Structure 1
Amino acid sequence: MAELPLYNCYYGSSEAGAMTLTRVEPGQEAGDLGEPLPGVRVRLTEGELQVQSSSLALGRFGPGTGGRPVPVAGPDGWYRTGDLARRSVTSPDRPLLYGRAAAVINVAGEKVSPAEVEQVIARHPGVLDVSVAAAADEVRGEVPVARIVLRPGAVLSGLVDWCRAELAPQQMPRAFEPVDRIPRSATGKALRKPPQDDR
């Protein structure tokens, strides 16, 4: 029986449909978007992923539109996805997705992606789940804070030491809160709320 390669439809949106495919194989870089489908072009502009697609919606309706569709693409024909990406070191033509522009934490002028911090924390063997969000800070403006679901027997002090070794100073969460679970949306996305919001 012939073996067939498997591909993930890795990236898409309601406005543009499926945009990229990536081969399912070990050793892939986190966030690898794969290859754009025919008719799809991608570019990075100031760290934001932008796309042109033959299947891009002409516009969207919503409150304040006066019943007329608002164009999805900008005047230059590119759709701003709101997703953050960077070039792969090993494959510069393949962008790596690492977060949402709206979720970026501004730590004294330094931009911190919660998703990148979550990826590092999730690699710790004592962590089952994690969510990182912004909290207000009088000195820095915003700081990262982390909710953590620990494995039985894991201790928070070990995780804090791990983060100090693995994260840049601006990425280091200023608070860690052990929780029983991370609230998630119907699509599995973490509902980002700073720990103090539940107190």
Structure 2
Amino acid sequence: MNEINFDKSPDGLIPAVIQDAETGKVLMLGYMNREAYDKTVAENVVTFFSRSKQRLWTKGETSNNFLHVENLLVDCDGDTLLVKARPAGPTCHTGADTCFEEVNRGQGQFLNYLQGVIHDRKMNPSDKSYTASLFGRGVNKIAQKVGEEAVELVIEAKDDNDDLFKGEAADLLFHFLVLLEQKNLDLDDIVAVLKGRHAK
């Protein structure tokens, strides 16, 4: 991680952009001095320096809507912090999900994480890994599994059991990602096709 330079600012404060670690939504902007940063790192809960109260302020200290830290990134100039966090509730004091009045939803970023796991199973196979066993059987077997899961999803769609339907949908999506990896393609490649069609 880059070094943070608190001395760049006359008041020793740097902006800290808070981003939901799962959805990617920007939740709020606050400021940290070195003491607030050290407390954030030590406790894994976001603490700011309040410019209005002139003291340390842990987000959620009155509402219990804490921001639990997942990752801290420093920009290339060392004077801005990106905090990826898991919010324990609405972030804004107004009760909104974010301070920008956006709805904080969408777990799409997890698919990118899952792609990374699948890629690792391919490059570092293990006898205990179901995913690695699929790669070991080749593209025909993986494609067959995608077809089987698609049929099972269609069957469940005709019934009224949402839990079973969601389970089959998850199975189909997982095996589709495995097939993409086998074909050395990325989910972004498919999204690009969809975006191209949408633009027409």
Which TM-score bucket, shorter chain as reference?
A: under 0.3
Q: Which has the higher helix share?
A: 2
Q: Identify the structure with the greater strand proportion.
A: 1
Report which of the two structures shows the higher radius of gyration computed on alpha carbons. 2
Q: Quick one: higher RCO (CA 8 Å, sep 6+), 1 or 2?
A: 2
Q: Which TM-score applies when normalising by structure 2?
A: 0.25
TM-score normalised by length of structure 1:
0.25
